[in-house]
Amino acid sequence: MVDLKTMGQQARESSKILRNLNRETKDEVLIALADQIAASQDLILAANAKDVTLAQQNGLQPALLERLRLDESRLLGIADDVRKVAALKDPVGEIFDSQVLPNGLGVHKQRVPLGVLAVIYESRPNVTVDVASLALKSGNAVILRGGKETLHSNCALVQVIHQALETCGIPVTAVQFIDSSDRALVMELLQMNDAVDMLIPRGGAGLHRFCRENSRIPVITGGIGICHLFVDESADRSAALRIIQNAKVQRPTVCNALDTVLVHRAIAGEFIPALVDYLEEDGVQLKMDPKALQCAVGLTGADERVAPADPEDFDREWLSLVLGVCVVAGLDEAIAHIEAHSTGHSDGILTRDEEHAKRFIQLVDSAVVYVNASTRFTDGAQLGLGAEVAISTQRLHARGPMALEALTTYKWVIEGEGHIRPD
Amino acid sequence: MVDLKTMGQQARESSKILRNLNRETKDEVLIALADQIAASQDLILAANAKDVTLAQQNGLQPALLERLRLDESRLLGIADDVRKVAALKDPVGEIFDSQVLPNGLGVHKQRVPLGVLAVIYESRPNVTVDVASLALKSGNAVILRGGKETLHSNCALVQVIHQALETCGIPVTAVQFIDSSDRALVMELLQMNDAVDMLIPRGGAGLHRFCRENSRIPVITGGIGICHLFVDESADRSAALRIIQNAKVQRPTVCNALDTVLVHRAIAGEFIPALVDYLEEDGVQLKMDPKALQCAVGLTGADERVAPADPEDFDREWLSLVLGVCVVAGLDEAIAHIEAHSTGHSDGILTRDEEHAKRFIQLVDSAVVYVNASTRFTDGAQLGLGAEVAISTQRLHARGPMALEALTTYKWVIEGEGHIRPD
């Protein structure tokens, strides 16, 4: 029996201690955690092996099984990431927007932790450590609810986190884990707006919708990416091919993977056959609109890998080696297509025309807008944030990759010398 | 029949135009609006007179009636506030956090409008114009839902706003008004998370709770202030009396008005009688805990104005000329009292001890923390923001007075030269 109410109260209490820790203490906990992960390898890998066996018995998809599996090198990678978080600047206490008002009042803002976070997530066990370390570094308590297929791994990792906290004299209730797959608990968690300040669901669209519809806690939604690249008339063709390949093929199951290529009609006749050819070795399936299809008719090998797109295909996040291809009349039609079909995650233009790049940046309102680069850079570590707790595609609070600063808020500090407000 | 769905779609469509307007155009609309308000005085005041008559017939409380009533000078004040918003810096387009990553990728964030706002508010008609002008200046569309007691005034003001928009060739759907007191519409509005990006309820605790519990749109809650001032042992006594009077008496019905004074026990015997005396002319009623009461026993006139506090009195936002008084053992007990009873709006310390001031700032986690000043400064205009759409006491997105910047988000812009992510 998980008593969520008590868990919430304990999280709130420990957040009051965490928010006043100095950087040294927080880094000490993180380094203890990294050491402890390395020292507890056997324990963690044994727990993970149990999860893997169960998952195999339950017929989990190979891609998900792959995400779930830990080995020594992955585990050391996780420990290393914790050390990287320790090395990051502490956002808490930062002072900004300082001013002295004409009446002499001193005013500034001071960055403080959000308080208590709750994160609901699926298979990957590294998320447990990533989120816990970012939460601790930013002075927040956290309640974690991982997927049932990673239960043993997560319990072992949380045990290790608790050992590190204890070593440093921090209450273990700073990081709590809901070790139950009872879905009713999620509903109960969503009502705990007094105890929890921010809820991050990490998973499919269904989980996000469920949280959006039922949560009294402010929710950060994101992680769903229907991502586009527009190949403009002036694009460097060979760079475009490389970028499209990287964005589509490197890791097709993640949210920043490419879903649709929009090709300027002036170059479609040449570029689309080249694209079909370039992606042959990677086995990418291409779903084409009628104009694109015309450009691919009769190509060697195209029969097997090229197919007409259904209209709704341009509203699908593929998460696999499938790529939509669409011919557009030019920049404005490309922007209109993105406006209509993008989830506002990551969209880019490949061009040598500076005016077109500017116009694209101005008019495409996605969390991350690219010029001449792969959408795969939408990632906290790639963008210098150290790690990420989520990639937000909503507009409130934080957008795009969220890391330490996104786990803080601020207070206003107003210092006077007996100031009263005049009538 | 209000068709909210169409309203939402129109707001979304017009937000796409608004987000790309340059500063000049937006300021032009605002100046046209200010002019139009002045030119339409008769129309607006006649509509307001209807509301006032109806409110009197319905027995509206005098304080609310006072909030509702417009006259020529108030109306010119409202027009003036619009001009002030026009004079503010446009936050949209601001570039920040620029960096070039080691791999040569250029990365920056660019401030963009939130999109579509919805604001639910009560009696004061000036809110209609304040919110509309801040929304327009920050490039957002807005759906307004005012109180039924201000319906005629609001309809007249919205008509004037629409004239200003038309004059400048901006779709009138940029500012839409739900001219119905049907409460079912509020419930329907709360489900429109596809059309609306941020919901701001401005009203009592009941409205906030209702929105928090039922909204699928991200909600900003706030505006409920149980505000404290701690009079430390070293406080400048006469400054303390002036500050307390200002914070309590100047406008007792607003959220930044003082609710509880905490007095250091070392000075309570002297300070509390002085306080009772100082607030006599203003007719402030004092609700005291047992220790404070002891200090007030036998004072002239105290019988009528001093009464023992019920324990729950320290959890009430008075919104009237009542003030709680509590004696505390010192700084830590004052901080603990605030932690237990504050709504996290505005809390302050009056002291000449710098270490105590520092400790108070560090440990009190309210939206606005004060040293030696009145809590009445928690106000967008007072803090140089020009105006405010709300005072947030939640932790996500924005805290304290919210104005133009709080109505924006940002996008990441990543510029490469054919960059792909390495394996």
pLDDT at B179: 84
Q: What is the CATH number of the domain that holds A49?
A: 3.40.605.10
The structure's pTM equals: 0.93
Separation of alpha carbons B47 and B154, rounded Å:
8
- Range with lowest mean pLDDT among A36-50, A51-65, B224-238: A51-65
- Range with lowest mean pLDDT among A122-131, A251-260, B312-321: A122-131
Q: What is the CATH number of the domain that holds B361?
A: 3.40.309.10
Q: What is the DSSP letter of B121?
A: -
Q: What is the DSSP letter of A310?
A: P
Q: Is residue B15 part of a domain?
A: yes
Q: Is residue A196 part of a domain?
A: yes
Which chain A positions have a beta carbon within 8 Å of B110's beta carbon? 361
CB contact under 8 Å between A399 and B412, yes or no, is: yes
Q: Is residue A58 part of a domain?
A: yes
Q: Is residue A101 part of a domain?
A: yes
Indicate if B208 and B279 belong to the same structural domain.
no
B216 close to A212: Cβ distance less than 8 angstroms: yes
Q: Is residue A393 part of a domain?
A: no
Q: How confident is the model at residue A180 (pLDDT cuts 50, 70, 90)?
A: confident
Q: Is residue A391 part of a domain?
A: no
Q: How confident is the model at residue A206 (pLDDT cuts 50, 70, 90)?
A: confident
Which chain B positions have a beta carbon within 8 Å of A213's beta carbon? 216
B384 touches chain A (CB under 8 A): yes
Indicate if A327 and A206 belong to the same structural domain.
no
A144 touches chain B (CB under 8 A): no
Strand order of the β-sheet with B106-113 is A306-308, A285-288, A322-328, A258-264, A227-231, A346-350, A368-373, B408-419, B106-113, B95-100
Quote the strand ranges of A254-321, DSSP E.
258-264, 285-288, 306-308
Indicate if A124 and A187 belong to the same structural domain.
yes
- Amino acid found at B320: S
B414 touches chain A (CB under 8 A): yes
Domain boundary among A362, A377, A392: A377
Indicate if B257 and B369 belong to the same structural domain.
yes
Q: Is residue A405 part of a domain?
A: no
Classify A288 as helix, strand or coil. strand
Which chain A positions have a beta carbon within 8 Å of B370's beta carbon? 414-416
pLDDT at A1: 61
CB environment B253-277: b (16+ within 10 A), e (fewer): eebbbbbbbbbbeebbeebbbebbe
List phi, psi (to 5°) of A199.
-115, 130
Token pair in block for residue A244? 């499209």
Tell me the helix, strand and coil percentages in chain B, rounded to 5: 45, 20, 35
Which chain A positions have a beta carbon within 8 Å of B372's beta carbon? 415-419
List phi, psi (to 5°) of B151.
-55, -45
Q: How many distinct helices (H) and strands (E) make up chain B?
A: 15, 16
Indicate if A138 and A257 belong to the same structural domain.
no
Burial label for A62, CB within 10 Å (0-12, 13-18, 19+), is exposed
**In Å, what is the CA distance from B126 to each residue of B67, B117, B123, B154, B379?**
9, 17, 9, 9, 15
From A19, A374, A413, residue closest to B369, measured CB to CB = A413
Indicate if B250 and B335 belong to the same structural domain.
yes
Q: Minimal Cα–Cα distance from A70 to chain B, Å?
A: 19
B413 touches chain A (CB under 8 A): yes
Indicate if A73 and A147 belong to the same structural domain.
yes
Separation of alpha carbons A284 and A301, rounded Å:
12
pLDDT at A38: 96
SS (H, E, C) B163-203: HHHHHCCCCHHHEEECCCCCHHHHHHHHCCCCCCCEEEECC
A177 close to A158: Cβ distance less than 8 angstroms: yes
Q: In this structure, how many other beta carbons lie within 10 angstroms of the beta carbon of residue A361?
A: 18
Tell me the helix, strand and coil percentages in chain A, rounded to 5: 45, 20, 35
Best of A208, A412, A415, A417 to disrupt the B interface by mutation (most B CBs within 10 Å)? A412
Indicate if A192 and A310 belong to the same structural domain.
no
Indicate if A280 and A135 belong to the same structural domain.
no
Domain boundary among A185, A200, A222: A222
Q: Which domain holds residue B165?
A: 4-221+394-414
Q: What average pLDDT does the segment A218-240 reach?
A: 95
* Total domains present in chain A: 2
Domain boundary among A222, A248, A271: A222
Given phi > 0 = left and psi -120 to 50 = alpha, else beta, which region is A287?
beta
Indicate if B217 and B288 belong to the same structural domain.
no
DSSP string of A141-205, one letter each residue? EEEEE--GGGHHHHHHHHHHHHHHHHHTT--GGGEEE-----HHHHHHHHT-TTT-SEEEE-S-H
Q: In this structure, how many other beta carbons lie within 10 angstroms of the beta carbon of residue A155?
A: 17
One pLDDT digit (tens) per residue for chain B, 423 residues: 679 999 999 999 999 999 999 999 999 999 999 999 999 999 999 999 999 999 999 998 887 888 899 999 999 999 999 999 999 999 999 999 999 999 999 999 999 999 999 999 986 889 999 999 999 999 999 999 998 899 999 999 999 999 999 999 999 999 999 987 788 899 999 999 999 999 999 988 888 899 999 999 999 988 789 999 999 999 999 999 999 999 999 999 889 999 999 999 999 999 999 999 999 999 999 999 999 999 998 887 677 899 999 999 999 999 999 999 999 999 999 999 999 999 999 999 999 999 999 999 999 999 999 999 999 999 998 998 888 899 999 999 999 999 999 999 999 999 999 999 998
Query: Distance from CA of residue A416 to its chain's centroid?
Result: 42
CB contact under 8 Å between A371 and B415, yes or no, is: yes
Indicate if A218 and A237 belong to the same structural domain.
no
Indicate if A9 and A121 belong to the same structural domain.
yes
Q: Is residue A283 part of a domain?
A: yes
Separation of alpha carbons A373 and B417, rounded Å:
7
Q: What average pLDDT does the segment A128-137 reach?
A: 96
DSSP string of A68-119, one letter each residue? H---HHHHHHHHHHHHHHHHSPP-TT-EEEEEE-TTS-EEEEEEEE--EEEE
Q: Which residue has the tokens 């017009």?
A: B14
